[in-house]
C-alpha cells in the first residue's frame, strides 16, 4: 500500500495527564504516553481498564476532564475538522446503514476524502471482493470487521486508530490483516492499536503501554516488557518418577513452580534449567515431553496486571 506522508519532528501523538470520569468514577486516571511518527504503538489492558476511553480522547470522540491530547499538533476536541483529514479510525463497535452494499460503502466513504486510496486493492487484500454486492446487514461479524478496517484506511490517513483490530476474524484473516497493517506502517502511517491478543501486540507493536485501572502500569517494547517477567524462561515436563518439591523450590533463579496432573512447569532462567537437568540426572528421572521456551508478552501482561485477564 502506498501512502504519501512527510516526516515530522517530535511525537505525532501526545497524551499527557489525561483523566476521564463517569458518575464520579475515574475510568482514565492520569494516562500519559507519546507515539512517534511511523510507529505501531499498542495499548493493552484488562476489560474496563480505560483503553477505549483513552483512544476515544485521541480520536476526538470524547473530551478529557483533565490533561492534554495532541495529534500532529491538533487538539482532537477543538480541531475536529482538521483531524478527520489525517486520522482514520476503526472503532470497537460500529454500524453503517444496513441496506448499503460493501461496494456502496467503499465508494461513499471514498467520496469523503480529497485523495482517497483506490478501494479495490484494499478490498481484495481484506478478502471483501466476493462480498461487494452484499448488504451490510447480511455480512458476518468477521466481514463487517474487515469492512471497517478498509473504511478506516480509505482516506490515506497519517494516523490510524484500530480498536480490537482482529476481533471476530478467523486465524487466516487475522494473519492477513497483520500483514496489511505492517504494509500500512511501511508506507509511513502511524498506528495506534488497542488489542487483547498478546500474539498480535508482540508481532506488530514497536512499543506497548499496559493500562490497568486507568493508569499506565508499564510502557516498553514487547521484548522489554517480557524481560521484566519474574521468570524469563519457561520449562515444562512430565517426570518418570515424583520429583521432590523441596529440591525444586531451591533451584537457583526460580520464579515459580507448579505441578498439575503429573506435569511440572517452572519459570526461571537458563540457570534454573541447567540446575533442573542436573537434579533430574542425579535422581535418574527422565523428563518426558520436555519443553523449554522464552516467556511471552502474555506472561508479562499477567505479571503486570495481577493475573487479570484482558
Quick: pLDDT tens for 105-114: 999 999 999 8
Query: What contacts 24+ positions apart, CB below 8 Å, involve 140-146?
Result: 141/168, 142/168, 142/169, 142/170, 142/173, 143/102, 144/94, 144/168, 145/169, 146/173, 146/177
Give the pLDDT confidence of 137-193 residue by residue, as tens digits. Answer: 999 888 998 899 999 999 999 999 999 888 878 888 888 889 889 988 998 999 999
pLDDT at 129: 95
Rounded distance, CA 66 to CA 233, Å?
A: 41
Nearest to 107 by CA among 94, 96, 120: 120
Q: Output the pTM of the full model.
A: 0.78
User: What percentage of the chain has pLDDT greater than the value 70?
Assistant: 95
Residue range 291-295: average pLDDT? 84
Determine the average pLDDT of the residues in 286-306.
Answer: 83
* Confidence at residue 231, expressed as pLDDT on a 0 to 100 scale: 62
Task: Please name which of 61, 59, 92 lies closest in space to residue 163, comparing C-alpha atoms.
Answer: 92
Determine if residue 47 is left, alpha or beta; phi over 0 gives left, psi from -120 to 50 gives alpha, anything else beta.
beta
Per-chain mean pLDDT for the chain: 89
Phi, psi for 272 (deg, rounded to 5): -60, -45
- Residue 300 clears pLDDT 50, i.e. is over it: yes
Residues in CB range of 66: below 8 A, 6 or more apart: 17, 18, 19
Which residues are registered as beta bridge partners of 206? Answer: none
Mean pLDDT in residue range 101-123: 94
Q: Looking at the predicted structure, is the pLDDT value of residue 6 above 50?
A: no
What is the per-residue pLDDT for 306? 67
Q: What are the tens digits of pLDDT across the range 214-268?
A: 999 999 999 888 877 766 788 999 999 999 999 999 999 898 899 999 999 998 8
pLDDT at 13 over 80: yes
Query: Is pLDDT above 90 for 33?
Result: yes
pLDDT of residue 75: 97
Q: How far is CA 124 from CA 83, 111, 129, 200, in A?
A: 28, 19, 5, 22
291 contact partners, CB below 8 Å, separation of at least 6? 234, 235, 236, 237
Count other Cβ atoms within 10 Å, centred on residue 222. 21
Give the three-class secondary structure for 264: strand
Q: Which residues pair with 33 in a beta bridge?
A: 15
In this prediction, residues 40-50 reach a mean pLDDT of: 91
| Grid cell of 198 as nine digits | 498478546
Q: Which residues of 89-103 are buried (b: 16+ CB within 10 A; e: fewer)?
A: bbbeeeebeeebbbb
Amino acid at each position: 500500500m502506498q501512502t504519501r506522508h512527510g516526516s515530522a519532528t517530535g511525537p505525532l501523538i501526545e497524551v499527557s495527564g489525561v483523566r476521564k470520569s463517569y458518575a464520579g468514577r475515574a475510568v482514565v486516571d492520569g494516562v500519559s504516553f507519546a507515539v512517534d511518527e511511523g510507529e505501531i504503538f499498542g495499548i493493552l489492558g484488562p476489560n474496563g481498564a480505560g483503553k477505549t476511553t483513552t483512544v476515544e480522547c485521541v480520536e476526538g470522540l470524547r473530551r478529557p476532564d483533565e490533561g492534554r491530547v495532541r495529534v500532529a499538533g491538533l487538539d482532537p476536541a477543538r480541531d475536529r475538522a482538521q483531524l478527520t483529514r489525517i486520522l482514520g479510525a476503526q472503532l470497537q463497535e460500529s454500524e453503517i446503514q444496513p441496506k448499503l452494499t460493501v461496494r456502496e460503502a467503499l465508494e461513499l466513504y471514498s467520496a469523503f476524502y480529497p485523495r482517497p486510496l483506490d478501494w479495490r486493492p484494499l478490498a481484495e487484500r481484506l478478502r471483501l471482493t466476493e462480498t461487494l454486492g452484499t448488504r451490510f446487514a447480511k455480512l458476518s461479524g468477521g466481514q463487517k470487521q474487515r469492512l471497517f478496517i478498509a473504511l478506516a484506511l480509505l482516506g490515506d490517513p497519517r494516523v490510524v486508530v484500530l480498536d480490537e483490530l482482529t476481533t471476530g476474524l478467523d486465524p487466516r484473516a487475522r494473519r492477513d490483516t497483520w500483514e496489511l497493517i505492517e504494509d500500512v506502517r511501511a508506507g509511513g502511517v502511524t498506528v495506534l492499536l488497542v488489542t487483547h491478543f498478546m500474539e498480535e501486540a508482540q508481532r506488530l507493536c514497536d512499543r506497548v503501554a499496559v493500562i490497568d485501572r486507568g493508569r499506565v502500569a508499564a510502557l516498553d517494547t514487547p521484548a522489554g516488557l517480557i524481560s521484566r517477567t519474574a521468570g524469563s524462561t519457561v520449562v515444562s515436563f512430565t517426570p518418570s518418577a515424583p520429583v521432590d518439591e523441596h529440591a525444586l523450590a531451591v533451584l537457583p533463579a526460580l520464579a515459580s513452580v507448579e505441578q498439575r496432573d503429573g506435569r511440572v512447569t517452572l519459570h526461571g532462567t537458563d540457570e534454573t534449567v541447567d540446575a533442573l537437568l542436573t537434579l533430574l540426572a542425579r535422581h535418574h528421572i527422565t523428563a518426558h515431553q520436555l519443553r523449554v521456551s522464552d516467556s511471552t508478552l502474555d506472561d508479562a501482561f499477567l505479571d503486570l496486571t495481577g493475573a487479570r485477564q484482558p
